[in-house]
Amino acid sequence: MDPENAPCPMGAESAPCPMGAESAPCPMGAESAPWWTRAVVYQVYPRSFQDSDGDGIGDLGGILQRLDHLADLGVDVLWLSPIYPSPQADNGYDISDYQDVDPLFGSLAQLDELIAALHRRGMKLVMDLVVNHTSDEHPWFEESRASRTSPKRDWYWWRPPRRGMAGGDPGAEPTNWQSFFSGPMWDYDEPSGEYYLHLFDRRQPDLNWENPEVRHAVYSMMRWWLDRGVDGFRMDVINMISKDVAADGHLHDGPPLHGSALGDGSASYLCGPRIHEFLQEMHREVFAGRDAALLTVGEMPGVTVEQARLFTDPGRAEVDMVFQFEHVGLDQGSSKWDLRPLRMRDLKASLGRWQAGLADVGWNSLYWDNHDQPRAVSRFGDDSPAFRRDSATCLATLLHLHRGTPYVYQGQEIGMANYPFASVDDFRDIESVNHFGTAMVAGQDPIAVLAAMRRMSRDNARTPVQWDDTEHAGFTLGTPWLPVNPDHGEWNAAAQRKDDTSVLAHYRRLIALRHENPVVALGDFAMLLPDHEHVYAFTRTLGREVLLVVCNLSRTTYRLADLLPQALDARLVLGNLPDEDAELLRPWEARVLSTWSRPDGRARGGTHARDRSAGPRLRTDGQCPAGYTTGTGRGRERPTGTRARRTPCAARHPCS
């Protein structure tokens, strides 16, 4: 082969090849694709990440202490949950000052230090932005509620009692909407004789985005953070900022909820009539024209695939990707506390629909865990001693091999599990506490209510990160604000850092695979075995390269030949279990297989690799279909006659 005229190993006809054939083109515009298509985001919930001053609450100093952990993991972006000044009614999602740091977490100087330290390590910082609502202690709201003639009165949603009723009486609220945190979405302000709207807690009043003064105050604040070095925003419930308000200013009742005196108002605040207008205006006012690699993520409960295409279409200039919730609602009935068994066919249908719907336009976030969800290994996996490690790595493989940007929530990379809550007194989360109170008033069985809370409470995600096997898992020298999971003696980062078969080691390999293989970031997706109850399988295809991903989400062993005969001749790129059996797919086993074809059109066969830590095996005869020389296999190969490449051939395309 003449390396100067070598065809792209992926079969493309134009554009530079990311696989290393410097004179050959590359498919799918891999070189011009946005940086975040190949990135991995790591979410830090500061309160529970690392305490540096002994008060039992995580802080910026603690995050600075643990940056090497993130660098070693290989992530590209740190998403920081709110650290703004806050009364902490909803653990920081009730902000009283958008342009400062709560002393609980540190100072602006420490945040500047964090930004600089991340940038030195090649990572970016994305701030959580909560602008659907503020704290009731924000100066804006304090001025708004001071008088019905206040200049900021219309910065929030104030409405009189329902016609013919007295303020404060049951049912006098302007609409019948039920809050996400139980009870009505309206709170009565006796001095002014009006109600204010709060979709969430009563201490989180909703901003009125119909008022242009509100919007431009928010945009000014966002520009201030970007000027300070922040690299973007994850925008909390951003699809709720537009409300469906009638011409005369009134809001509409929603259909009644079963078993409740209240109704579902979501049709009036989910993806409201001006949402696209507001986001496009935000982009023009805040992001347009900046010479920086920024990231905008829209958290959008209830968003559909069709709506997500509009939100994330680059030509519309709204947000880069959505953070949606369809797949994490599949094990729920009428509410998150109404638990149902997860059917694998439903999960495949949901994830597959999002893959197909955003295939040509738009982008999605990929996640199992976050600060609002229970731990995935307990919820979707198997956290029994026999299968916890295997199911954690299987779930990770399944997720990270989809098209989209993967998110790792703190502790997920070491397989952290749900906390064994003994009683209702162990819970701190306002959503959980309010739910228990409402359920007791409604006469529900406290044992059943507590069982659902143990499985689904947000507190499961908020227990301190388990760094080592010391008394408080290395999180604090004081008393942690929320108890450390008692399993931290066995499940901790220090132990896994030394173990090449650990959950942590597997996450490192998954993240590296996305960075190094364009097919993982940009390849087309095709679902296989859509009706199988336990095996989740799909392909990712880019040019001639095809990855076959097979995940067994059960305790049952399957013969691979009976399911996917083509897998038997494929080469193992990455797996999660040692000593693989080419013919059997064992409980909670995940395999990423390459069925790549050579440039001459011949199908590539091969055997299963035994060394998972090294990824694809290097050839030792110095030959490669793209003209690479592998030499001793140490990763300094290059096409003959060209300058040396930085990345090992085996990490960039299969040349075995």
Q: Supply the residues annotated as catalytic.
A: 236, 299
The three-class DSSP label of residue 107 is coil
Ramachandran assignment for 622, one of left (phi > 0), alpha (psi -120 to 50 degrees), beta (any other): left
Beta-bridge partner residues of 524: 541
Rounded to whole angstroms, the Cα distance separating 298 from 311 reads 9
Contacts of 250 by beta carbon, 8 Å cutoff, 6+ apart: 159, 174
In order, the DSSP letters of 511-575 are HHHHHH-HHHHH-EEEEE-TT-SSEEEEEEEETTEEEEEEEE-SS--EEHHHH-GGGGGSEEEEE
Contacts of 602 by beta carbon, 8 Å cutoff, 6+ apart: none
Half-sphere exposure at residue 127, Cβ-oriented, CA atoms within 13 angstroms: 26
The three-class DSSP label of residue 219 is helix
The three-class DSSP label of residue 104 is coil
| Residue 377 and residue 553 in contact, taking contact as beta carbons nearer than 8 Å | no
Beta-bridge partner residues of 248: none
Rounded to whole angstroms, the Cα distance separating 95 from 521 reads 35
From residue 362, give the alpha-carbon distance in Å to each of 270, 320, 359, 481: 19, 8, 7, 40
Rounded to whole angstroms, the Cα distance separating 84 from 91 reads 10
Rounded to whole angstroms, the Cα distance separating 589 from 223 reads 46
| Residue 553 and residue 588 in contact, taking contact as beta carbons nearer than 8 Å | yes
From residue 121, give the alpha-carbon distance in Å to each of 45, 117, 128, 441: 20, 7, 21, 52
SS3 for 125-173, per residue?
EEEEECCCECCCCCHHHHHHHHCCCCCCHHHECEECCCCCCCCCCCCCC
Cα 341 to chain centroid, rounded = 23
- Range 288-294, long-range pairs (CB < 8 A, 24+ positions): 288/317, 290/226, 292/226, 292/231, 293/35, 293/124, 293/231, 294/226, 294/231, 294/232
Residue 605 burial class via C-beta count within 10 angstroms: exposed 0-12, middle 13-18, buried 19 and up: exposed
Running DSSP on this structure, what letter comes out for residue 246? -
Triad 338, 342, 348: Cα angle to 5°? 135
| Residue 526 and residue 538 in contact, taking contact as beta carbons nearer than 8 Å | yes
| Residue 60 and residue 105 in contact, taking contact as beta carbons nearer than 8 Å | yes
